[in-house]
Every structure is written in C-alpha cells, then in structure tokens.
Amino acid sequence: MSSTVELRAVDDRPADAPIGHAAAPALVSGQHLLGLDELGPAGIQQLLSHTDRFVEVNQRAIPKVPALRGKTVCTLFFEDSTRTKLSFETAAKRLSADTMSFSVSSSSVNKGESVRDTVETIQAMGVDAFVVRHSSSGVPWQITKWVNAETSVINGGDGWHSHPTQGLLDAYTICQARNGSAGDAASLAGVRIGLIGDVKHSRVARSDVQAFTALGAEVILIGPETLLPPSIVGWGIGNGTVEIGHDLDSLLPTLDVVALLRIQTERLGESLVPSAREYTSCYGITTKRLGLIRSDAIITHPGPMNRGVEVSVDVLDTHPGVVITKQVANGVAVRMAALFLLIGSGVDVL
C-alpha cells in the first residue's frame, strides 16, 4: 500500500508579500489520495480548511485562479458518473488546469485494451493527476504502481471500498451548515449522525464514517441487517464512535444529521430487501416521519437519489435542513482543494 498521505504547507512568499496572497500548499511530490484512512484526521482537517478558500473563489464573478496553469488532469472513469466526474473536471478548469476526459464507451478498452495499457498510454501524453473510478476495489491503488513518481492518483470511487472526496465534501457541508464554514479546526465533536440505507455495499458510507469520526462525530449506521456490515471494527478513525441501529423511528429524534444513502436497485433483485415499498416503509424518510426529525437537523444525500424511496418529495421540499444541492456545490471546492494540495506548485491564488 502507499505511504500515509502527508500534507505540508509550502509558503515561498517573500517577507513583504501583499496580505491576502497565499502560496499554494503541496503534498509531498508523488503522493496520492486513495482513502481517508491514509489521509488521517490531521490531513482531513487541513484539506477542509483549504476548502474554505475555494468556496470563496467559487463565489466570485469569475471563479477561476491560475494555481494549476500548465498542469493536466485526466478523469479516468470506468463507471458512469455525473456528479463526481463533472465536479473534478470543473475543479481542474477553475484552477486553470488542462483536462483530459476518458470514457470507456469510446475507448480502446472495448477492443480489449487493459487498464494498465490505457493508463500508460495516457501517461505518455503528459498527465499530472489521474482521477480514477472503477467497479473493482483497489484499482486506483494498483494504478499508483504504473504511473511515474511525479503523477498523483485520486480515488474517485472504487467498488465498495472508498470514495474519499465524497466523504470530505459531506463532512465539509455538515460543518458549514452548523458553523458557517469548516475553519482551521473543523469539528463534529458530539454531533450524532445517522447514516441510513445500504451501508454494506456503499463506498460512500465507508468514507463518510471515516471523515465524520475523524472530526469526532458519533455515527449510527441504520438499516436492515442485510444492508449493514457484519462488523464495524476498523470503520472509524480519530476520536469519533460508530455503532449500529435498526429502529429508525426511535433514533430519528436523537439525530443532528440524517445522512441518506442510495438503495442500489440491484439489491432488490438479490432479496436483500423485499421490495422498494417495504424499504420505504421501514427506512424511508417519508412525510409521516417528517415530524420525527428535529427542525434544526441537517439532511444529506450523496446522489443519485431514488425519490420516493430513500426520501419523499415532501421532505425535500419542506424541511429547512436539506443541503443536497449544497453538497454538490461544495464538491467542486473540496476537489479544487485536493488537486491544489496534490499538484500545486506554489503559485499565488488569492
């Protein structure tokens, strides 16, 4: 496995540099972002702190900075994606990087080309970072063995394993909703977060738990036994806690955050859930359950959502704590921060 990701601030400004200009921090050359367990609580804190800067950039009339001018980012997606792929490409462009977009349907993979040959072909064109999504767990890690020492690999979601930037953006959005921003000391200490749905098969769930517990949250995994992991040993990092619960109705009034997960339709065919209707009856955030959710609670969903299954349209339209579109917006800022820290070269950006 790759070494622990170490974030370090690099400040090459002269002593008389204008206030308001900051040199780009950078990861140790050749590092990767494969999972939040490797990043660790300190790295998560630093990345969320830098996200604040890019939220501000994205609010400008012209949301673009020259931080990655001359760099090239390739989105190497072997699975379909809307949010993550477009978010990374938008993030790269707002940092002034060039982008290359790989699609399986129009590539030589359909002619039998291997993942390794695909990576090495694109690498030869000159790439500073690959953002990788694959249906098999571990593929982004394997790709780190095939790229050169100066190229970074970011995990854009691999199998059931990990989706680190989703965990980061979910944690950031919750901090923002509660405190206005993440700040230099993002904290979810004592915050009760219910992660509801298909936890067992969800890479988002694993990264969410790591991000939330790294910031001190109390996480409850809620769902039927068939959709929860047989063991939660090793799921959390930092000072947070993880537990399992099944009775949604009794738990909802205790939650500060209701974090929903998509029910993957293939699970219905595997008899892990009797039907979508049965799931909604037991674990959906329905209009009837709206009264059980605290008015100051936050409701999240990583998307894509099954409206009427995980959550009703009425809840989405009426509860003041729904922050789903804010998650999407913050995803761009989080990914700008990740790219900036990984492949930035000390260029002033503010």
Q: Judge whether 205 lies within some domain.
A: yes
Average pLDDT estimate for 296-324: 94
Cβ–Cβ < 8 Å for 27, 8: yes
Taking residues 32-45, what's their average pLDDT? 92
DSSP 3-state percent helix, strand, coil across the chain (nearest 5): 40, 15, 45
Residue 191 pLDDT class (50, 70, 90 cuts): very high
* pTM greater than the 0.85 cutoff: yes
More confident residue, 349 or 307: 307
Amino acid at 255: L
Rounded-to-integer distance, Cα 71 and Cα 24, Å: 14
Residues 37 and 92 in one domain: yes
Amino acid present at 119: V
Residue 296: inside a domain: yes
Give pLDDT, residue 180. Answer: 80
What pLDDT is stored for residue 110 in this prediction?
63
Q: State the pLDDT at residue 103.
A: 76
Contact between 13 and 21 (Cβ < 8 Å): yes
Q: Are residues 191 and 95 in the same domain?
A: no
Domain count within the chain: 2
Residue 257 CB partners (closer than 8 Å, separation 6+) = 174, 191, 192, 193, 194, 297, 298, 299, 300
* For range 32-50, the mean pLDDT: 92
pLDDT at 7: 36
Judge if 147 and 17 occupy the same domain. yes
Task: Compute the distance between CA of residue 313 and CA of residue 285 in angstroms, rounded to an integer.
Answer: 10
Same domain, 237 and 177: yes
Quote the pLDDT of residue 99.
98
Between 196 and 234, the more confident residue is 196
162: Cβ–Cβ under 8 A, 6 or more apart, which residues? 34, 35, 36, 137, 155, 203, 206, 207
Range scoring the smallest mean pLDDT among 7-21, 299-313, 315-329 = 7-21
Query: Which of 11-25, 129-143, 218-232 shows the lowest per-residue confidence on average (mean pLDDT)?
Result: 11-25
Q: Is residue 349 part of a domain?
A: no
Look at residue 112 in the predicted model and tell me its pLDDT.
74
Within a domain: 348? no
Give me 252's structure tokens. Answer: 């909802």
pLDDT at 309: 92
Give the whole-angstrom CA distance, residue 122 versus residue 97: 16
Predicted local distance difference test score (pLDDT) of residue 9: 30
- 294 has pLDDT over 80: yes
* Per-residue pLDDT tens digits for 94-109: 999 999 998 776 677 7
- Both 150 and 84 in a single domain? yes
278 in the same domain as 299: yes
Mark whether 239 and 308 lie in a shared domain: yes
Task: Identify whether residues 20 and 62 lie together within a single domain.
Answer: yes
Q: For residue 122, which of 147, 104, 142 has the smallest C-alpha distance?
A: 147
Phi and psi at residue 266, to the nearest 5°: -65, -20
Question: For residue 1, what pLDDT band results from cuts at 50, 70 and 90?
Answer: very low
Least confident of 110-124, 133-147, 187-201, 241-255: 110-124
CATH number for the domain harbouring residue 145: 3.40.50.1370
User: Residue 15: which domain range?
Assistant: 7-163+330-343
